[in-house]
Amino acid sequence: MAKEQEFYWRRLHSLLGLIPIGLFLTVHLFINFSATKGAETFNKFSEGMESLPFLGIIEWVVIYIPLLFHAIYGVYIAFTAKPNLNRFGTTRNWFFVLQRFTGIFLVIFIAWHIWQTRLQKTIADATIDYNLMSDVVTSTGMLIFYIVGIIAATFHLSNGLWSFLVSWGITQSPKSQKVVTWITMIIFVLLSVVGVMAILAFRG
């Protein structure tokens, strides 16, 4: 029974990693990318998001609760799962290790990002706009921290998509898994470029 429960918990974990967390990350990166067109454009997109009705409920239901479960159960998986060299080979097992490493790092990064943005709005009545994000990445150290966080998030999502397709039985043959590896790595590169260009844009 315990194994059956773990099977369903893992399915839920992988599903929430894509929907809604993965979708939110993608939208979030492209909204931030609007900063490449200037402060006014970014602020317009940001104000549009902040003006959504029932925003607090949406954030908890769509982002925070799924993210909390994914993070907590993900840390459990990271410290209990073992690489499978016989089944997937060396490259995929390196990705396996990176998936666990980026997951643990992202728990720290996302908590810090929420503290610097959403919680500042709640605690200090700060406005989430271009100037706020510009202040966040003023220091070179914080800029590097955000760049590493973005790349970790895009890899975790892209490689998580590969794992999702395998664990849900969508890609079973070695050939299909190899093709999807290339597709997901292309997604990783594209999202990383979008995210890094966005965060650099806040440096003016």
Measured from the Cβ of residue 109, the count of other Cβ atoms closer than 10 Å reads: 18
pLDDT at 82 over 80: no
pLDDT at 37: 97
CA 176 to chain centre: 25
* Token pair recorded at residue 53: 């009705």
The C-alpha atoms of residue 38 and residue 52 are separated, in whole angstroms, by: 22
Domain count, the chain: 1
pLDDT at 4: 79
Residues of the chain with pLDDT > 70, as a percent, come to 96
Amino acid at the residue 59: E
Judge contact between 192 and 151, C-beta under 8 A: yes
pLDDT at 154 over 70: yes
Sign of torsion, CA 124 104 134 33? negative
Residue span of the structural domain in which 39 resides: 3-201
Q: Predicted confidence band at 88 (pLDDT cuts at 50, 70, 90)?
A: low
pLDDT at 128: 93
CA 51 to chain centre: 23
Nearest to 130 by CA among 33, 191, 40, 30: 40
Instruction: Report, as an integer, the average pLDDT of 25-47.
Output: 97
pLDDT at 86 over 70: no
pLDDT at 84 over 70: no
pLDDT at 93: 85
pLDDT at 1 over 60: no
**How would you classify residue 35: left for phi > 0, otherwise alpha for psi between -120 and 50, otherwise beta?**
alpha
pLDDT at 103: 96
pLDDT at 126 over 50: yes
Assign residue 163 the CATH number of its domain: 1.20.1300.10
